[in-house]
A and B are shown apart, each in its own frame.
Chain A
Amino acid sequence: MPRNDMVKSGRLTDIAFYILLSLVKENHGYSIMKTVKQITNGEVEIGPASLYSTLKKLVNEEMIEQVVDQSFNTKTYIITTKGSETLKNEYNRRKRMIQHADQILQGEDGHV
Chain B
Amino acid sequence: MSEKEYKYIETHGVEVDDNDQKDLDMLSDYARKGWILEEMHVLGYKLVKKEPQNLIYSVDIEENPDEEYFHIFEESGWKYICSSRHLHFFSALEGTTPIYTDEDSLVGKYKMMKDKYLEFTKRMVYFYLLTIMIALFSEVIDWFPTLIGEICLVVGTVSLIALPFTFMPYLSYRKKYKGAIKNRFNVY
Within 36-83 of B, Cβ neighbours of A (below 8 Å) are at 58, 60, 62, 67-69, 71-73, 75-76, 78
Q: What distance in Å separates the Cβ of A98 from its nearest Cβ neighbour in chain B?
A: 16
Main secondary structure of the interface of A (DSSP, over half): helix
Report if A51-B104 is in contact (Cβ < 8 Å); known contacts: A2-B181, A45-B97. Answer: no
Within 1-45 of A, Cβ neighbours of B (below 8 Å) are at 2, 4, 6, 13-15, 29-30, 33, 45
CB nearest neighbor in A for B60: A49
Tell yes or no: A71 within 8 A of B by CB. no
Do A51 and B181 touch across chains, with their CB atoms under 8 A apart?
Answer: no
Q: How many A-B residue pairs have CB under 8 A?
A: 70
Chain B residues with CB under 8 Å of A47's CB are 76, 97-101
Query: Count the B residues whose beta carbon is within 8 Å of the partner chain — how many?
Result: 25
CB nearest neighbor in B for A37: B97
Give Cα A6–Cα B60 distance, bound, in whole angstroms: 21
A-B contact pairs, 12 of them (CB 8 A): A15-B101, A29-B75, A30-B71, A30-B72, A30-B75, A45-B101, A46-B101, A49-B100, A50-B99, A51-B72, A51-B76, A54-B105
Measured CB to CB, the residues of A under 8 A from B are 2, 4, 6, 13-15, 29-30, 33, 45-54, 57, 73-75
